[in-house]
Amino acid sequence: MTNTKSAAVLFGLIFITSSLAGCLFDEDRPAIEFSECPSFWHVEFFDLSADRFSSWDGIVEFTDSNGNTEKIEFFSNNMRYVTLDDSLEWTMTYTFYEDDIGFIIAGERYGGNNFDGQTGTIEVDLERTYPGDSEGNGQISFSACADSDYQIEFIDMSADEFSSWGGVVEFTNSDGDTYSYEGFSSDMKYVSLDMSLDWVMKYTFYEEDIGFIYEDRVYGTDNSYEESGEIQIN
């Protein structure tokens, strides 16, 4: 049993290395991407024993409507979120070898109270899930991780990973579209905007030590209650 699991862990580590190199989008493999912090996803794996798990003890096999299959097993938190090519249909077969692991699809939780070897097959609901309370659109997106395209980083001097940023922000673009957010978590820490448009960001701080960074300048972090302002982003 120990040798089998060790081999499986080694396989998982090898797969993680390849997945971190980028998407698996080519003609011979299913259009599937694994990530620790995507801008949206279709499947989220969890382990009730650890928010950041070192080994999700199970096997998952994704099959698309073209007949392509991808199998992963005993993987880490680096592969927590799965983004699928939603122009295809997908099925997912799973086997749990740990009682408190599982996954979430379109807000529905599977697993978390399993018996050893419990298995099943489902059709994947391709509803996209976005970080925090954000809504998916082509003009503004959020992520827990920085990439080269973000414009705004929200900060809380009390916690690098915060559960609620105590303020309100409103983004308005030159087309007249407005998006408002408040009380969000660090899942929405980084903001990427459609820079073919001009933007105004209005903000109100309800906590003294929150703020944001834009173009290397820090705003806030020593605020009075309901301190507010706006910046131009272009």
Are 84 and 90 a contacting pair, CB within 8 Å?
yes
pTM: 0.63
Closest CA to 149 of 191, 212, 207: 191
Digit-coded pLDDT (tens) for 111-134: 999 999 999 999 999 999 888 655
d(CA 206, CA 225) in angstroms, rounded, equals 5
Cα end-to-end span (Å), the chain: 58
Digit-coded pLDDT (tens) for 176-195: 999 999 999 998 999 999 99
Inter-CA distances, 42 with 45, 60, 151, 202, 228, Å? 10, 14, 25, 31, 36
SS3 233: strand
Digit-coded pLDDT (tens) for 10-68: 444 334 333 333 344 445 544 899 988 887 899 999 999 988 899 999 999 999 999 99
